[in-house]
Amino acid sequence: MESHLLTISHAIQLAIAPVFVLTAVAHLLSVLSSRLARIVDRHRVVQARAEMREEMESLPSATPLSRHQIHQKEEDEIEMAALHLRLRLSYLAIFFLVLSALFICMVVVTGFVGALTQADTSLWLAGMFIASMIAMIISLGLLLREVYVAVVAGKMHRRP
């Protein structure tokens, strides 16, 4: 009986490290979801402005667009393209981060199953942990790319 308790307590000790990684993943998911929400909010603002401009252009009494309005329309189109790219990058970053979390959860479960059944799960554990880290690296790379696109787009739309 005591050997089972030692086995279970050892499995719990081994599960603590992946749980800390899960905590980090949860914080990163919070950051990514906040960024995604801001992108969606900005997309709505630019989309509403474009729709209002189209309504004004379609009126029978509409005057031709001024140079400033044409420039604003072109800037809005460029910003919408950047926002679409940022949305896609953010979604993919969240996808790979959730995939990483799922692999970490599978590491914990496999560790417990291995400890309880006395089976050698070391290759499975290593494979899932490596897969988790690869998914996290991809996610962080996508986040970095999204931030870069945001910075470049922000510089383009800065007015003197």
Of 4-8, 15-19, 22-26, 139-143, give the range with the top mean pLDDT. 139-143
Distance CA 93, CA 35 (A): 11
Chain segment 56-95, per-residue pLDDT in tens: 777 777 677 778 777 888 888 889 999 999 999 999 999 9
Chain segment 136-149, per-residue pLDDT in tens: 999 999 999 999 99
Residue 160 confidence (pLDDT): 45
* DSSP letter (8 states) at residue 63: P
Q: Please tell me whether the overall predicted TM-score, pTM, comes out greater than 0.85 for this model.
A: no
CA angle 96, 138, 150 (to 5 degrees): 95
Amino acid in position 74? E
Question: Cβ distance 27 to 101 under 8 Å?
Answer: no
Which of 44-53, 65-74, 118-127 has the least mean pLDDT? 65-74
- pLDDT-derived band at 55 (thresholds 50, 70, 90) equals confident
Amino acid in position 138? I
Of 51-55, 105-109, 156-160, give the range with the top mean pLDDT. 105-109
Residue 138 confidence (pLDDT): 98
Residue 26 confidence (pLDDT): 95
